[in-house]
């Protein structure tokens, strides 16, 4: 058996601090073999930096996935991946355009186990001409055909629920888990699909509770009410919603349990 503790988008400093505070107790409770965090909103709500990756890795995060904002706060396109101590800790969606910095998948060795972590981004409502996550996942599986993999963990970063559910059902039994990120709102459909894949449409965020998707309400409300493009600000204090899942995978690479974790961190 292997257990994976997977967090959705962690938003800004307030989200990072809540994660660091909660992580020791969660690790004690679930005893994960691997802890994964979606990093695309770590740096004040957009992107990530070297110091932040180093900070959370030191706090107990083993690996990082990402999404459409991953390059927003980096100094250059190769910032994190140019660091020899950090480059193997972070992946970006595998179906980003060819030539994009970084890797879209990584095979991790955990003792005698080998775990493939894959990051993909959806197409519907995402505003960019990304490649198909379905085609990209087929390519990943083909590249690793014949390898002994003890688990395949997928972070599917997307907006449309239908696209993510379709992906989960299509790859049911071929990967160990498919958990969604990006919308910051947890869905209520955590389950094991019929052929053995753990599935959740969206894990949700770790970010300010009294906010709109992790940002101060004034900015988003002004856009909806007044049509003004005001800057989004990240709250610096207050309670935090922490959302994650714990997925347990059996010897055959199929999921046997998925637990949705929802806590308020003061």
CATH number of 162's domain: 3.60.21.10
Position 130 scores a pLDDT of: 93
64 located within any domain? yes
pLDDT tens by residue, 87-107: 899 999 999 998 888 899 999
222 located within any domain? no
Whether residue 76 is predicted with pLDDT greater than 70 in this model: the reply is no
- What is the span of the domain harbouring residue 186? 2-208+239-265
Confidence of residue 232 (pLDDT cuts 50, 70, 90): confident
CB 115 within 8 A of CB 108: yes
Which residues lie below 8 Å from residue 102, measured CB to CB, with a gap of 6+?
Answer: 70, 80, 81, 87, 90, 91, 92
198 located within any domain? yes
Whether residue 55 is predicted with pLDDT greater than 90 in this model: the reply is yes
234 located within any domain? no
What residues are labeled active site?
Answer: 69
Region 255-266 average pLDDT: 97
The number of distinct structural domains making up the chain is 1
Whether residue 77 is predicted with pLDDT greater than 50 in this model: the reply is no
pLDDT tens by residue, 111-125: 999 999 999 999 999
Region 129-140 average pLDDT: 96
Whether residue 186 is predicted with pLDDT greater than 50 in this model: the reply is yes
229 located within any domain? no
């Amino acid at each position: 058996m292997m257990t994976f503790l997977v967090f959705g988008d962690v938003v800004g400093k307030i989200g990072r601090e809540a994660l660091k505070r909660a992580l020791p107790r969660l690790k004690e409770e679930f005893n994960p073999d691997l802890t994964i965090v979606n990093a695309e909103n770590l740096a004040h709500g957009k992107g990530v930096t070297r110091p932040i990756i180093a900070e959370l890795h030191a706090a107990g995060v083993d690996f990082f996935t990402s999404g459409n904002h991953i390059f927003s706060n980096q100094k250059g396109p190769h910032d994190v991946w140019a660091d020899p101590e950090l480059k193997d800790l972070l992946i970006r969606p595998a179906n980003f355009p060819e030539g994009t910095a970084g890797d879209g998948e990584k095979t991790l060795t955990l003792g005698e186990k080998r775990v493939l972590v894959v990051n993909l981004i959806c197409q519907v409502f995402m505003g960019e001409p990304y490649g198909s996550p379905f085609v990209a996942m087929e390519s990943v599986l083909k590249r690793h055909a014949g390898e002994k993999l003890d688990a395949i963990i997928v972070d599917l970063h997307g907006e449309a629920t239908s696209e993510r559910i379709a992906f989960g059902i299509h790859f049911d039994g071929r990967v160990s888990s498919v958990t969604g990120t990006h919308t910051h709102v947890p869905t209520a459909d955590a389950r094991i699909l019929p052929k053995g894949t753990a599935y959740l449409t969206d894990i949700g965020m770790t970010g300010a509770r009294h906010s709109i998707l992790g940002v101060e309400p004034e900015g988003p409300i002004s856009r909806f009410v007044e049509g003004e493009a005001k800057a989004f600000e990240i709250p610096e204090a207050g309670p935090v919603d922490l959302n994650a899942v714990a997925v347990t995978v059996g010897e055959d690479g199929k999921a046997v349990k998925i637990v949705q974790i929802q806590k308020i961190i003061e």
